[in-house]
Structure 1
Amino acid sequence: MLVSNDLYKKSSKTQKIRCEICANYCKISDGNSGVCRQHKNINGELFDESYGIVSSLSPDPVEKKPLNHFLPGTFTYSIGGFGCNMTCLHCQNYMISHEFDKFSRGIKITSEAIVENALRYNCKSIAWTYNEPTIHLPFSKKTSLLARQNNLKVIYVSNGYFSDKSLKEVLSFVDAFNIDLKSMSSDFYKKVCGADLDIVLDNLKRVYLEGKHLEITNLIINDYNDSIEEITELCDFVVGELGPDVPLHFSRAFPYYKMNDIAPTNPEILFKAKEIALDKGINNVYLGNI
């Protein structure tokens, strides 16, 4: 499907285009795709090659996203796609985000069918999850607007790596976010995730200031982002820049993908992280994968 031309820019001299769907702002030459491998330059136009193709569909408890303070006790209809705009070495869903050409098969589905399924399973919302939803913006927007017409709320489980344009659009149809704040280290984001920490922090503040429901997840990895200093800095950011009522989820990491040599996170550091967060004044702190 041809992407709306307000989400990319054409070169006046070549057929190279600049994708503006996410914060990578990929410059894509003719015949090639961007970092996410879902958008391709074909004769100087940007095409979404996975429009209407998903990796998974499932009704889930909304707490599984995790969202503990948004429609608690209800089910959400979860939709996963393919690809990602980050290159996290520890990706827990790498078979659909990075190596989908080896492992995964796509499911072709319409926006109407997704909404019908959500209603059939008595879900109160739909959730774009399992991989980064921003890269499927045209399809998620169409489906989400239809969902809202049918009194369903819309959830984004995201890494927060939006472009300015995409975040503006996403804010117009998403009701609740769980955003991964992977680390407070710029080096971690650069070396482990292939991304820019400052962009994620700025986007978190924008989501919060827009009054959207926001919860944050921090996956703690032994010897990478588990220092007391970094956990304290993360809690200070939540309290100082967002607010003490923003729920914070600390989650345990396990060896996976390109970080399969790490040990599972020591549970004691998760208990310590919760203690730090509570001491800093964060009102709702949760532990996951433990």
Structure 2
Amino acid sequence: MIDLIPSSKEAMFYKRDQEGSVRCLLCPRECVISDGKRGFCRNRENQGGTLYTLVYGRPVVVDIGPIEKAPIYHFIPGHFRLCLTCTSCNLRCKHCQNWHLSQKSFEELNHYSYSPFEIFKQAQSQNLFSISFTYTEPTVYYEYLYEISVIAKEHGMKTSIVSNGYIKREPLLKLLKVLDAVKIDLKGFSEKFYEEVCTATLKPVLESLITVKKEKVWLEIVNLVIPTLNDDPKMIEEMCRWIKGNLGLDTPLHFTKFHPNYHLTHLSPTPVSTLELAYEIAKKNGLKYVYIGNVPGHIYNSTYCPSCNRKVIRRTHFDVIEMNVVDGKCKFCDFPIKGKWE
């Protein structure tokens, strides 16, 4: 299954510029790429005035895991999915937990060779409910994930992405037509944080969140709380108010614990008390589904009914222990629980 030969699939979303260069229109960077060069994501190369993706059909990880690991909590809880990814990313986050995949170029890692249909057949043959594009940024292998998702949709299989949201509107809209759920990492709530920690900007991510919500694809948000960088209660308050005003009170928000990694090993893990303060801020602003993640066994791993406050989904880390959502409603008081339940 190991294949070290780059594919030659023409990329989507680009235009030819002067003197043989091309402008990539997939993400907000809009890289202008000279002949023989690659864009910021390392995965798209200009070959004689045509932009190619180098990773089509070449995943570096294909495995199985629970949807709760994404985390996506309101999308058929407890089901297992086929997870896959290709190399690289269009961000350079200093805290990336998967830097060994996301901060590598195509040639640096061994990879498999699977067509989109072969990926679908793998999921189908193992009786998996969905396919999930995760671990690195799915945008940078857009053509591959799009074709897999089209095939999955044609055969009644669900798909989801775990994304940084750094994608332009046109490709996002096209992708949303074949996706069932989206989890976006809202990494902080200031341009300064995005520029200094992620080598990116905040505004396009906010625009992507609004687009996903308007297109009525199931959306959940994760905010990894990093001590000294994005844990200011005022920043968290501002973020929660923005979510309330632009995405609605029913959008699940996960505050997750940071563990020192990559270029931020000098920082301490997030205190649980900081996560609990963030939780209280979100609840004070009226958000109905707020979670604390990366803290196995915490009471706010579970889902509570916004009406009667009974526990409707009991979780321990990635495991669903008890399910009290019946036909999309709280088993105890019949209150509708937002999500995709089948």
TM-score normalised by length of structure 2: 0.82
Cα pair 2:249 2:288 within 8 Å, conserved? yes
1:219-244 Cα offsets, whole Å, 9 max, x none, are 00000000110111111111111011
Aligned pairs for 1:1-290 (under 5 A) are: 1-4=8-11, 7-11=13-17, 13-99=18-104, 104-290=109-295
Q: 1: distance between equivalents of 2:175 and 2:151?
A: 14
Q: 1: distance between equivalents of 2:91 and 2:157?
A: 29
Cα pair 2:9 2:56 within 8 Å, conserved? no
Runs (4 or more) in structure 1 with deviation over 4 Å come to: 100-103
Residue type of the partner of 1:240?
G
Residue type of the partner of 2:248?
G
Question: What SS class does the counterpart of residue 131 from structure 1 fall into?
Answer: coil
Question: What SS class does the counterpart of residue 10 from structure 2 fall into?
Answer: coil
Change (3 A) 1:140 1:149: same
Question: What SS class does the counterpart of residue 89 from structure 1 fall into?
Answer: coil
Q: Which residue of 1 aligns with 2:298?
A: none
Change (3 A) 1:52 1:74: same
Change (3 A) 1:277 1:221: same
Residue type of the partner of 1:43?
G
Q: Based on CA coordinates, which of the two structures has the bigger radius of gyration?
A: 2
Question: Deviation of residue 2 (structure 1)?
Answer: 3.5
1:104-131 Cα offsets, whole Å, 9 max, x none, are 3211111122111111222111101001
Cα pair 2:250 2:288 within 8 Å, conserved? yes
Residue type of the partner of 2:214?
L
Q: 2: distance between equivalents of 1:103 and 1:220?
A: 30
1:221-279 Cα offsets, whole Å, 9 max, x none, are 00000011011111111111101111000111111111111111111100111111111
Q: 2: distance between equivalents of 1:157 and 1:80?
A: 10
Question: What SS class does the counterpart of residue 148 from structure 1 fall into?
Answer: helix
Unmatched 5+ residue regions in structure 1?
A: none
Aligned length: 288
Task: Identify the structure with the greater helix proportion.
Answer: 1
Question: What SS class does the counterpart of residue 53 from structure 1 fall into?
Answer: coil
Q: 2: distance between equivalents of 1:170 and 1:262?
A: 37
Q: 1: distance between equivalents of 2:67 and 2:15?
A: 37
1:114-154 Cα offsets, whole Å, 9 max, x none, are 11111122211110100100111111111111111221111
Residue type of the partner of 1:133?
P
Cα pair 1:161 1:200 within 8 Å, conserved? yes
Question: Deviation of residue 102 (structure 1)?
Answer: 8.5
TM-score normalised by length of structure 1: 0.96
Cα pair 1:134 1:166 within 8 Å, conserved? no
Q: 2: distance between equivalents of 1:64 and 1:19?
A: 32
Question: What SS class does the counterpart of residue 156 from structure 1 fall into?
Answer: strand
Question: What SS class does the counterpart of residue 200 from structure 1 fall into?
Answer: helix
Question: What SS class does the counterpart of residue 54 from structure 1 fall into?
Answer: coil
Question: What SS class does the counterpart of residue 263 from structure 1 fall into?
Answer: coil
Q: Which residue of 1 aligns with 2:305?
A: none
